[in-house]
Structure 1
Amino acid sequence: MAIYHCTTKTVNRSSGRTAVASMAYRAGEKLEDKRTGLTHDFTRKDGVAHTEIVSNLNIEIDRSQLWNLAEQSENRKDARTAREWVIALPDELDADQRKDLAKAFATALVDRYGVIADLAIHEPSKGGNDKNHHAHIMLTTRKAELDPENNLTLTTKAEIELSNAKRKSLGMGTTQDEIKQIRETWANLANHALERAGIQEKIDHRSYADQNNGLQATIHEGTKVTQLRRKGIDTEISRFNDNVKQQNAQQLDQQKQQKESVLQRGLNRVDQGFDQWQKNQETKRLELERQAEMKRQQELDKQRAEQALRKASQKLSRGGMSL
């Protein structure tokens, strides 16, 4: 059955992540981070079904150039350099339909914020029976434009990246409200794609409490029952409602776990793999620094030895001449 999953998180320097490394991993490519000097090579990564950069600028955009520019556009040590959306792609659709759907959502984000989206579609992991087709969509946190020479530039922060205080001063809703709207956009796009494919099943972005999903309804308690409840006095109605709520909660938890556990396992493997890679990179970096320090010390010792030898030779020469 189709699983609803649409979440967002940010790429922050404060957490040790960079936009270049994150996109190299998701796209399964080799990218050089010009800010740090590190090269991130994930060309051996399996499961990347499709990658594509989506923008409204009508120019060809290089992935390395894009994410290096995103990094270079930020000066703060704790800067937010990218935003990622992760969506579950319905297994009921074929590969081309999933690609079209993921691109439609990426395009909707680009149109909404004026940014650039980098799309990477991942297949289910090999050796498993899960169906967690999903896509990672990395967005620039700044709006994308072309300068007079037709060069790509990143300008002001996109609206979703603004603080809630700033959004309020501009007459906008909160970031949380914004995310809810995007989650609804994804549900609408996915349901439209399922319908076009002749599939009756739908996904719903709303919480279970807002859905007409067949769960048992509670009885209206009214003023008297509410007043008694506040005083700690149980009634037949309040006890019935509490029992219904408990049963509904258990049923919802079971449904939620069944729908999301498969996808979450796949997403966790992505995060765990990337975190382990970062640890390995740090270990390699420290080892290279240690080797460089040893080499520097050896060179220094060699220079000191040569200087001492020259001084000894000069002293012998002066002693020989005096004789």
Structure 2
Amino acid sequence: MAIYHLNVRGCSPATGAGAVKKAAYQSGQTLIEERTGEVCDYARKERVLDEGLALPAGVPPVGRGELWNEAERVWVEGGGGKTLVAKRYEFALPIELDEDGRRACVRDFCALFPAKACDWAIHDSAQGGNPHAHILVSALDLEADGFVQKTKDETGQCFYLCENEHGDRMPIRATEWKSAKAAGWQKLYNFEDGQRRTMKQAKAEGLGTKDRTSKRPVQMHRREGQSAYAVGREEMDEVREAWAKIANRHLAAAAAAAGVVPQVIDHRSNKERGLAEEPTIHEGGVGLIGHADRVKQNDEIRARNERLRVLRAELRQEGAELERLRDEVAALERQRNTAEQAWRVRPKKGERKRKAALAKRRRVAMATAAAAVEAQQRVTAATADQTDTKAEMLGQLDEQIAALDEQIRELQRGGAPAALGASLRKAAELAVERKRLADERDRLAGEDPAPRKPEPPQAEQKRPRGHKH
């Protein structure tokens, strides 16, 4: 089954993650890092199924080692430091696609960066079943004469929201617009009907420039006035959504050719999709370090999710039964009141008839009252069942929170210094998930998950200045 998995990491020689090293690892080739003279040669080359370079239009062919050694040379000339040479994208490829389909997905992903150099490779585990792609995207634009250094003024440039022929949307820097236009991207504009269109789309619908709300294209953001993290987060969200559209487009085409229902992936989190389930984690390939532990953890997560689904279904069912019983009690009460009122207003026609009617109405009233008592008893029983189910759900959530606490403590204890940073980041992610589960538990228990402000001291608690115990 197709799954969504995409992550991105920075590539900077300052952290030991040089572009030449990463290119050698993902391509399976032996490359020489000219900056240090180091020979970059890594094992497990059998995992590399395919690889290649995607260069901007007009850039002559270049070798992989030459490309990334030049990128690192420009990085040194630009002052080095913590700036990036490239970004490393990794994402899972749908197992429903064949080799050509996966390769087409990778090439469409590279097309999201028309002004950049993209070095791609497709990997799979030895046992198969874990196809994924590695994409190394240059931080600087690449032109025929080489990489283009950014000036200080360009760091404040705006990004235009653009769309290609497939409907993929991406923010593209103003300085990259020339290359993007040559690759088929078009700027989007806001129109008076509230829709965003390219001018080509507008002309096809009989609209023109006068129908736009502004002659300026849609601008995504500016670096000035925003943190680098906020800008990067916004760009990352656009890339994640664009990849989901690319994969779903190829999955739909493959399913149509095979005559089956297409699989669909979604880049949004469970919380954003309104799902209360605990998300599973990426397992990776069979035989990789930690794979068995991740499979076991996912089995436990699925079991907890299934149990919570059953409990929520039972809670909804018992809640509906409770409402039905309350309606039944109300109807019986209305019948009793109607019978009593009818007896009070009916005229007397002889003492015998009156007594007989009174006895009959008393019997009806008593039967109605007995039915009401029985219904109320059923209401009480249903309420107790609902309370038990709610308590069981609270217990399940408590177990999940306790499990997350244990994982966070394990990660915070850390191990080797090299693994400590990753452990703390994972602990932070688990802390966010723990907060979500704790809020769900407080909501279910009828508690306010928001922290309460401490109450001010009462008058009798105040002591005069200088008071001694």
TM-score range, shorter chain: 0.5 to 0.7
RMSD (Å), alpha carbons? 3.7
Aligned to 1:201: 263
Aligned to 2:139: 141
* Higher radius of gyration, 1 or 2: 2
Structure 2 residue aligned with 1:167, among 185, 202, 223?
Answer: 223
CA distance in 1, matches of 2:395, 2:149: 50
Aligned to 1:191: 248
Q: Does 1:101 align with 2:105?
A: yes
Amino acid in the other structure paired with 1:134: H
Aligned to 1:154: 148
Q: TM-score w.r.t. structure 1 length?
A: 0.59
Aligned to 2:336: none
- Is 2:270–2:276's contact at 8 Å kept on the other side of the alignment? no
- Is 2:140–2:147's contact at 8 Å kept on the other side of the alignment? no
CA distance in 2, matches of 1:9, 1:85: 7
Structure 1 position 209, deviation (Å): 1.8
Amino acid in the other structure paired with 1:51: E
Deviations 1:96-146 (A, max 9, x none): 1001111111111x22xx21110111122x1x3x51100000011111112
Aligned to 2:95: 91
Amino acid in the other structure paired with 2:241: E
Amino acid in the other structure paired with 2:92: A
Aligned to 2:65: 64
Amino acid in the other structure paired with 1:66: L
Deviations 1:208-258 (A, max 9, x none): 122265967899xxxxxxxxxxxxxxxx99x969948976x96xx9xxxxx
Deviations 1:135-181 (A, max 9, x none): 000011111112xxxx3233328979x9xx97144899621111011
Spell out the pairing of 1:1-323 with structure 2 (5 A cutoff).
1-42=1-42, 45-58=45-58, 59-75=60-76, 76-108=80-112, 110-111=113-114, 114-124=115-125, 126=126, 128=127, 131-146=129-144, 151-156=145-150, 167-169=223-225, 174-198=231-255, 199-211=261-273, 243=393
- Is 2:6–2:89's contact at 8 Å kept on the other side of the alignment? yes
CA distance in 2, matches of 1:185, 1:246: 37
Amino acid in the other structure paired with 2:122: I
- Is 1:29–1:43's contact at 8 Å kept on the other side of the alignment? no
CA distance in 2, matches of 1:14, 1:245: 48
* Identity fraction in percent: 28
- With a CA cutoff of 8 Å and minimum separation of 6, indicate the structure with the bigger relative contact order: 1
- Is 2:116–2:137's contact at 8 Å kept on the other side of the alignment? yes
CA distance in 2, matches of 1:86, 1:15: 19
Q: TM-score w.r.t. structure 2 length?
A: 0.42
Structure 1 position 77, deviation (Å): 4.2
- Is 1:187–1:205's contact at 8 Å kept on the other side of the alignment? yes
CA distance in 2, matches of 1:120, 1:214: 36
CA distance in 1, matches of 2:37, 2:227: 42
Q: 1:193 to 1:244 in 2, by over 3 A?
A: farther
Deviations 1:20-66 (A, max 9, x none): 01101110111111111112134872111111111223321221111
Amino acid in the other structure paired with 1:104: D
- Is 1:121–1:134's contact at 8 Å kept on the other side of the alignment? yes
Amino acid in the other structure paired with 2:98: D
- Is 1:89–1:135's contact at 8 Å kept on the other side of the alignment? yes
Structure 1 position 79, deviation (Å): 3.8
Q: How many residues align?
A: 222
CA distance in 1, matches of 2:275, 2:254: 24
Q: 1:192 to 1:203 in 2, by over 3 A?
A: same
Aligned to 1:265: none
